[in-house]
Amino acid sequence: MKHVIIGNGIAGVCAAEAIRVLDESAELTIIGDETFPPYSRPMISHVLEGSQPHGKLPIRSERFYDELKIKALLGRRATGIDVDRRQVLLPDGAAVDFDTLLIAAGADPRPLVAAGTDLKNIFYMRTQAHAQQQVAALDGARRALVLGGGLVGFKAAYGLLKRGLSVTMLISSGYPLSMQVDPVAGRMILDALMRHGLTVEVGVSVRAFEGNGRVRAAVTDAGTRLPCDLVIIGKGVLPVRDFIPRDRIKVDLGVVVDEFMQTSVPDIYAAGDVAESVDIARGRPWINALWPEAASQGRLAGLNMAGRTVAYPGSLSRNVMRVFDLDVLTLGIANPLDETGYRILQTGGDGQRTYRRLVFRENVLVGAVLINAIEQGGVLRALIENQVPLRLPAEMLMRPGFNFGQLL
């Protein structure tokens, strides 16, 4: 059997390990754009902040590929898939044959549309190489701009603050983490960011950068000119789809997979940030671009590629983060765009230290936001994942000290 994996991120790595456990003799090839041994992408901000002085974040041994007898074609980006010939195409005209294929190409940063993005010291934040380039640019830098108020923007801003830079965060939506939390939680988070030394402007985008070879200022859509020596862009990600033949393999925002992580073509699988699978809270296809999801989807795809039949229960959006003095936990549909059909209960927030928001569809919990009293997050997650119907009046759940465990 010839198993081929495109992508050497966590989904690809976990798939390879799962295949090797079931099949010691199969030919196993990984085609990977990045040349580092497998590393922790969520921790690249630690390189920026200086807590990883060697700039390395390994998650497997340096000899990972040899130990698993994997043919590693690193530093190479797949350019196409010939579905009929069962081949992955490489830029030099070479082709790699497969019996089963996993697309685990992850996501690329969403490109910022603005003039002057080619100036020096303007960075995205997706790879270990990006973080190392950012560190190299810190010398002499005093003022930094971070574009985007999501998780990546937070991590970048925190790293730059730790390096002693003066940091301004520009967020195009009305409050930070707008994809994960509601306006009340957003205001609490905004307040925490500003209290801890960040300048934050909301409802603002950059339309151009100015500089002489190297960035010196950003011009906002309101016409304001913000001097800066370094810029980090964290405006979300898009699944890598450029090499996928869409007339053959079904692609929506991501590559569409069934519960076995198989695409619309038999024996071709997808996993991780590139794959669109069922979201438990939404009950429909969705991409939850999260490290643990990518790992379990990759593992499961690998088992199925090696001949075992294992179904994926679906993914759930979830984040736990510390924003200076706030513990923030979000689960599922915390902020439905259209609230019709949802029932929302909330307590605390605005001037208080804690906040709890629960989102129900019919009598089933589908989302939650907790700030500073997050101990029961695990139980809430179980209620959402198991779609447990609520048997008590919902208002009881908002009483201080309510024990959610009794609902399971």
Ligand X SMILES: Cc1cc2nc3c(=O)[nH]c(=O)nc-3n(C[C@H](O)[C@H](O)[C@H](O)COP(=O)(O)OP(=O)(O)OC[C@H]3O[C@@H](n4cnc5c(N)ncnc54)[C@H](O)[C@@H]3O)c2cc1C
Q: How many CB atoms lie within 10 A of CB 248?
A: 15
d(CA 202, CA 111): 20
Q: Helices in 291-330 by DSSP H: which ranges? A: 291-305
Q: Please, what is the minimum distance in Å from the beta carbon of residue 354 to ligand X?
A: 23
Q: Which is nearer to ligand X, 272 or 336 (CB)?
A: 272
Total number of residues shown for the chain:
408
First and final CA of the chain: distance in angstroms? 44
Give residues in contact with ligand X (CB under 6 A): 6-12, 31-34, 41-42, 44-45, 77-78, 104-107, 125-126, 151-152, 155, 240, 243, 272-273, 289-292, 294
Q: How far does CA 52 lie from the centroid of its chain?
A: 21
Max alpha carbon distance in the chain (Å)? 65
Give the number of other CB atoms < 10 A from CB of residue 403: 10
CA distance readout (Å), 22 to 18, 26, 59, 70, 303: 7, 9, 22, 14, 7
- Closer of 74 and 394 to ligand X (Cβ): 74
**Burial classification of residue 238, based on how many CB atoms lie within 10 Å of its CB (0-12 exposed, 13-18 middle, 19 or more buried):** middle
Nearest of 268, 339, 356 to residue 88 by alpha carbon: 268
